[in-house]
Amino acid sequence: MDSSALFAIRLSLQVALIATILVVPAGIFFAWVLARGRFHGRDILDVALTMPLVLPPTVTGYYLVVLFGRNGAIGSRIYAWTGWSIMFTWEAAVLASFVVALPLIVKTCRAAFESVAPQLIDVSRTLGHGEAATFLKVVLPLSRKGVIAGTSLAFARALGEFGATLMLAGNIPGRTSTAPLAIYNYASSGDWPRADGLVLVFTVIGAAFLYVASKLNAHIV
Amino acid sequence: MGIELNISKEVKGFRLDAGWEAGRELVALFGRSGAGKTMTLKLIAGLLKPDQGYIRINGETHFDSRARVDLRTRWRRLGYVFQSYALFPHMNVEQNIIYGLEGIRRDERQQRLRAMIAMFRLEGPERLLPGNISGGQQQRVALARALAGRPGMLMLDEPFSALDMPTRVELRGVIRQVQQRFRIPVVLVTHSFAEVRQMADRVVVYSRGKVAQTGTPAAIEAEPAGPAVKELLGLE
């Protein structure tokens, strides 16, 4: 395996890891808000957070370009302030992975939070604890299986991200070409040996990941 | 000192209108399922909000719709034992008991824990999870947890429904002792008049969301107020 393929793998792991570290607390927060909150616009928030699950990743990527591009609603402000744009950087790949992985962790965590018996939350309140303490001491520990499952799904999704990354980060070998993009590049240019190498690496990582996740799940009761 | 309330609440077509008071004694809320007894406990605890009325406990107003007082559950400091005990399944017996002792000095906390474990005869299973102890022990852990924080009042929602007869008899004694030792109002929800007769100083008879009668168990048995109460007593 040559340096460009190794770079692609390293970049993919880096992007997926950072995106996962960021998306887990965000996902837990939104899941808790959706599970417990009674406020106007809850359904709209739920739909908005879930959209990347059903939209083609290129459409999600398109929205991100509209928002974060140099002329975008948010991107233009960042550019005016710092002179920096996220477009065509590896950070853009993190952002794309974050957005497509978010609904996976929100859905699994929300289901886990909602399955905690409401009486346990009530009794915690009668024992003098507020919402945050109850969440940290009762709800989260009882939902750890769901949180771990959601984290695994989010990481796997981030590692395999293609469409939104392509739209936002581009496909610059040695800079923003993550492993899925590199595989596409190799295959489309007929460089089968390199494509084979990366495909093999991904297959091994995927299988190892699923195996560890299932072992871990069996341990946590 | 004691409890004084007059509240109403409507939920999905069911309307509760309850007004009664009690001192530092054991009060039984007696009636059929769905008469509004558990709902009353939840309203007292602040887990549900009354549409209107007031709740005063030991001289302190916890809720008053006119004065716009609505103390949060966590500040009411009332012991509440749920029908299913609601023990935290991921915490052992000790951890469950000290859960309500946040913010108390460590040595004081340990001292209270030891006192609760001795009082409720929980030496032995301290480090076991709730799933690994008997129903009677679970009930005693729930009582210890509710009382460890020295609440101003104790509420028990059908505390014996999941227990066998010998354990029931034993725990009725335990709860009587608790009331005498802590000298707080104890409110017990039940649909068994045998239990009422054996335990309660005072009874509040609920019928379809209304208080049908209040008094001592003997007085109510001697003179049931109307056919509804008579019929409830006859269910035994």
User: Are both B195 and B129 inside the same structural domain?
Assistant: no
Contacts of A137 in chain B (CB under 8 A): 99
With CB atoms and an 8 Å threshold, state whether B74 touches A120: no
Contacts of B47 in chain A (CB under 8 A): 122, 125-126
pLDDT band for position B79 (50/70/90)?
very high
User: Are both B64 and B166 inside the same structural domain?
Assistant: yes
Percent of chain B predicted with pLDDT > 90: 77
User: Are both B131 and B203 inside the same structural domain?
Assistant: no
Determine the structural domain holding residue B94 and report its residue range: 89-150
Check: CB of residue B73 under 8 Å from CB of residue B45. Answer: yes
Q: What is the pLDDT of residues A153-184, one digit of tens each?
A: 899 999 999 999 999 999 998 899 999 999 99
Q: Is the ipTM of this complex over 0.85?
A: yes
- Closest by Cα among B84, B66, B62 to B74: B62
- Per-residue model confidence (pLDDT) at position B232: 87
Which CATH number goes with the domain that contains B14? 3.40.50.300
Question: Domain total for chain B?
Answer: 2
Q: Say if residue A140's pLDDT is above 70.
A: yes
Length of chain B: 236
Kindly identify which residue of chain B lies nearest to residue A138, measuring between CA atoms: B88
Contacts of B82 in chain A (CB under 8 A): 119, 122-123
Token pair of B76 as six digits: 């009411």
Q: What is the pLDDT of residues B8-29, one digit of tens each?
A: 999 999 999 999 999 999 999 9
For residue A68, give every residue at least 6 positions away whose Cβ sits within 8 Å of its Cβ, in sequence order, or none: A74, A75, A78, A86, A87, A92, A95, A168
Which residue, B150, B171, B189, sits at the end of a domain? Answer: B150
Whether B47 contacts chain A with CB within 8 A:
yes
Helix A90-114 with A42-54: angle, nearest 10 deg: 120
End-to-end CA distance of chain A: 41
What CATH architecture does domain A3-219 belong to? Answer: Orthogonal Bundle (1.10)
Which of helix, strand or coil describes residue B173?
helix
Whether A66 contacts chain B with CB within 8 A:
no
DSSP characters for A136-154? IIIIHHHTHHHHHHHHHHH
Q: Which helix (H) or strand (E) holds B26?
A: strand B26-30
Q: Say if residue B97's pLDDT is above 90.
A: yes
Cα B65 from Cα B218, distance rounded (Å): 35
- Per-residue model confidence (pLDDT) at position A212: 83
